[in-house]
Amino acid sequence: MRQRLFFWFKTHLGFSAKESRGFLLLIPFLLLLVGASQVLAWAKDRNAEKLYQHYLNQVDSLERAGVQLLSSPLPTFNPEDTLSRSHSAKVSDRIKRLPFSEADSVVLQIVPGIGALTAGRIIKHRENLGGYIQIDQLHEVFGLKPETIPVIWEYFDFDRVAPRRIEINTVPVEELAKHPYISYQEAKVLVAYRLQHGPYLQLDDLLKVKIFKADWVNKIGPYLDFEVKVAEAGKK
């Protein structure tokens, strides 16, 4: 039997006789590890079940005695921990709502869940963008928890249009590429097309550059200014 195993290892796995012997010695050790992990898992489940049953017995005993529980008998769980506490209802009544574009990193810390570092990142991204105009843009800020984002709206008013826009018909490649939504390669193409075909008069003109998708054009559109070049084009 052993020789047959060695032969199979050699023909199918390419093992030498020495490697085959080593592999056979390793198998019991691997089986032992698997068995040990199963035993540990079983023991852990048994302990958890006993702890939970003990918890239920305590609760039943207290309720039969007429005691109203305000917290769990278990030190690892408190029913109040499952409640979502909101401090904004009280604080927001005492402050004046500001446009989000006017809030600095200090003022932003009035929002629960926003510290100094996160506030700084929010402001930096806002300045790079030219302003936040949609709540989804806050998901782009590193370290800002998703559950904190809706709370920001309770303290600030958001701009309907971008406070600061890029003059698409005059901006050089390097400046255009600084916008978070525009890569350097995309900036090069935008400027090259402008130099070759004339100024962009409206947002749809960007779609004439066939490589650009409509979703991306609509995304950067609120941050582009066409008005100056429209006036200049009229003079020509």
Question: What is the domain extent for residue 122?
Answer: 98-157
Confidence (pTM): 0.56
Residues with Cβ within 8 Å of 155's Cβ and at least 6 positions away in sequence, in order, are: 88, 91, 92, 95, 97, 110, 111
Do 141 and 200 have their domain in common? no
What is the pLDDT, as a whole number, of residue 231?
42
CA 227 to chain CA mean position, Å? 35
CA distance linking residue 74 with residue 79, whole number of Å: 10
* Assigned domain for 85 exists: no
Range from 13-17, 75-79, 140-144, 192-196 carrying the lowest mean pLDDT: 75-79
* Assigned domain for 93 exists: no
What is the pLDDT, as a whole number, of residue 74?
52
CA distance linking residue 18 with residue 117, whole number of Å: 60
- Across 43-47, 74-78, 161-165, the highest mean pLDDT is recorded for 161-165
Do 189 and 172 have their domain in common? yes
* Assigned domain for 74 exists: no
* Assigned domain for 134 exists: yes
Range from 90-94, 171-175, 192-196, 203-207 carrying the lowest mean pLDDT: 90-94
Q: Which of 40, 64, 88 is the last residue of a domain?
A: 64
Do 107 and 135 have their domain in common? yes
Position 145 pLDDT exceeds 70 = yes
Residues with Cβ within 8 Å of 183's Cβ and at least 6 positions away in sequence, in order, are: 177
Tell me, what CATH number does 115's domain have? Answer: 1.10.150
Domain count, the chain: 3
* Assigned domain for 88 exists: no
